[in-house]
A = this chain, B = another copy of it.
Amino acid sequence: MGVETYDIVIVGAGPVGLCLSTCLARWGYKVKHIDNRSEPTATGRADGIQPRSLDLLRNMGLKRKIMEWEPAKVYEVAFWDPSAKGIHRTGTWASCPKFIDARYPFTTLLHQGLIERTFIGDIEKHGGEVQRPWTITGFKNDGKDKKYPVEVNLAHVDGTMEETVRAKYLFSGEGARSFVRDQLGVKMVYKDPIAHVWGVMDGVVRTNFPDIKMKCTIHSDAGSIMIIPRENNMVRFYIQVASSTDKDWDPRKSTSAEEVQERAKQIFKPYSISWDRVEWYSVYPIGQGIAERYTLDERIFMGGDACHTHSPKAGQGMNTAFLDAVNFAWKIHHVESGWAPRSLLSTYESERKLIAESLLDFDARYAKLFSARIPSAGEVAGASSAKEMEGDNEFIKTFKASCEFTSGYGVAYKPNAINWGPEHAAQHRLILAYEHGTSQRTGRIMTPATVTRVVDANVVHLEQEIPLNGSYRLFIFAGSLSTSEKALKDLATHMSAPTSFFSTFSYEDLAQKDRYHERHNPHSAFLSLAIIFSAPRSAIHIDDPKQLPQPFSRYADHVYADDVWDQRVPEAKAAAHAKMGLDEEKGGVVVVRPDGYVGVVVGLEEGVGTGEALDMWFSGVTGRKLGGERAIL
């Protein structure tokens, strides 16, 4: 009897491992997931979910479960500085200002253990589990089995049991102390020579300080504190205990909870503060490190804190972990499904490492910003669009970048095989570049938009209509019914051709298997599609083949009326079209990657052009020759 085989072995059930496991369990992969702790996180650790991550969690159907724990929501950050009589408030910032078009413009604060439980519940619902307390004791990509090239040795932490399995992939989500990373000999590179020792204390307090339910940065002559509110009257205090810039710098410097409370009392003057209880207290040194590599062989991967460690102040750790996981998940899904060449896997490191690097850079700038002057409410409120913020004012620029970064919307993947750019293999006159026919930027999230679903007249969030199902998303903004009727029909005809990007990836059992109730993937798991008309709902008839030719008619559940007024584009007749920067009459096609980032935008016109451009794009993405004679590769 051979050893047990798995699609993947995931080590570590923190945010990155759990998010990865959740995706793969939903998409039908066989996962071995272990964690060396007996239970999910009981106290402490991360607690901030950024606006972009909340989008993602909603897309996974987990937002409601998260919200059921009644987390704190941070809409603003308050700044307190020293004055003659103690501290006083010098200003507040929106944590996700209006110039960012976020569906949820706030940070959600919830204990990491509750977030982990939400994921675990979902994994179990899909038949998976986390095996605890088990650890990894060895692994090698020995290729002895071509299909399952990686051998992984696992053991119960008490040493009483051992198990050896083979897998297609091994993923380390072990956190900062990664056995896998050590074994691979991958070094952490410490970018910034400045290191810090932080004290962090979670507890329930009593105080007359008016901003105790806000995120606050308090500078006083007695020291500095950052406050983060949480569920159940809990408050987190961050206090910097030591810095490598101190004269007596000692990375092992520690301090007791009582000392921290005493310091806090001094810092809080003239306000009083006391603790009902302390749930968790820890002191730890933080280095701003990044792993040299995320993978050496594209079989054994790492993500989350195993790849990047940084200051907790900006609340980015867990959020970066989620995005690492989803970025990795869909790529192995597409490679394993035969929809992409193995080279797609190399974009995991190139995309995510750059983000980690930006995060570290940002961390330094953020610290600087915190000691700088606060912009007035007028300056911030006046900057109602990202464009207006692009003035000369250096401070405002940094501020804007910071907000985008901390909200998660600053993530911008560079042009590569899956994010179109001027160097991409697909070059077609109908491919629309940023600010040339579209406001959508490749490598960035699609702008949110509210529309009316035709089939049931529900007012919905378009960007959430296709769940995180591992599929590419084709948002066909079809313009007005009269103007684009032929263009849509021509695209439908083009897509129906057997060599098209659409037909090529059809289910092999399309004719045999009953998929009547399948809304998102009736033809193929490779892509989902949505069609948005610039028309009132009552004018759209899903049973009219002139409006909705085959194969679009099969996507009747994903037909939308762009007839909901939007405050951001008050003059627009079709707000969703307008927000995408597309012509309201002619429309256009926005292709979104399975993780929500825009891949390419293509103009919609009569004839074969639109189909050609999409075939070219998907040829580049999938490594297939699509579109028959028309394909250029």
Binding site for B on A (CB under 8 A): 64-65, 67-68, 72-76, 92, 106, 204, 206, 208, 210, 213-214, 229, 233, 276, 377, 455-459, 516-517, 536, 538, 541-543, 556-557, 565, 567
Contacts and interface: CB of A to CB of B under 8 A. Distances in A.
Contact of A538 (B67, B68, B206, B377): B377
Given A64-B64, A233-B517, A72 B210 contact: no
B210 A542 contact: yes
Nearest to A516: B206
Nearest to A78: B457
A456 B74 contact: yes
Contacts of A210: 455, 541-543, 556
A377 B516 CA distance: 33
A450 to B, nearest CB: 13
A457 B91 CA distance: 13
Contacts of A457: 74-76, 92, 214
Given A64-B64, A72-B456, A206-B516, 10 more contacts: A64-B67, A65-B68, A75-B456, A92-B538, A106-B458, A210-B455, A213-B456, A214-B456, A229-B456, A377-B538
A541 B213 CA distance: 14
A471 to B, nearest CB: 20
B456 A208 contact: no
A75 B206 CA distance: 46
A75 B229 contact: no
Contacts of A536: 377
A64 B481 CA distance: 37
Contacts of A74: 456-457
B456 A73 contact: yes
20 contacts: A64-B64, A64-B68, A65-B68, A72-B456, A74-B456, A74-B457, A75-B458, A75-B459, A92-B457, A106-B458, A210-B543, A213-B456, A213-B557, A214-B455, A214-B456, A229-B456, A233-B517, A377-B536, A377-B538, A567-B567
Nearest to A565: B567
B556 A73 contact: no
Q: Which secondary structure dominates where chain A touches chain B? A: loop
9 residue pairs, one from A and one from B, having the closest CB atoms: A213-B456, A76-B457, A75-B457, A210-B543, A213-B455, A210-B542, A73-B458, A233-B517, A206-B516
A299 to B, nearest CB: 38
Contacts of A543: 208, 210
Contacts of A67: 64
Contacts of A75: 456-459
A153 to B, nearest CB: 40
A105 to B, nearest CB: 8
Contacts of A73: 456, 458
A221 to B, nearest CB: 21
A229 B65 CA distance: 25
Nearest to A68: B64
Interface centre among A213, A456, A541 (most CB of B within 10 A): A456
A218 to B, nearest CB: 15
Contacts of A68: 64-65
A229 B453 CA distance: 15
A419 B160 CA distance: 72
Nearest to A455: B213
Contacts of A516: 206, 276
Nearest to A210: B543
A64 B73 CA distance: 17
A68 B208 CA distance: 38
Interface centre among A204, A458, A542 (most CB of B within 10 A): A458
Nearest to A95: B457
Nearest to A206: B516
Contacts of A64: 64, 67-68
A556 B211 CA distance: 11
A545 to B, nearest CB: 11
A22 to B, nearest CB: 17
A466 to B, nearest CB: 16
A33 B542 CA distance: 49
A65 B64 CA distance: 9
Nearest to A229: B456
Nearest to A92: B538
A211 B174 CA distance: 50
Nearest to A91: B538
A92 B75 CA distance: 39
A377 B229 CA distance: 48
A76 B453 CA distance: 11
A346 B536 CA distance: 50
A543 B64 CA distance: 34
A377 B537 CA distance: 11
Contacts of A208: 543
A542 B538 CA distance: 49
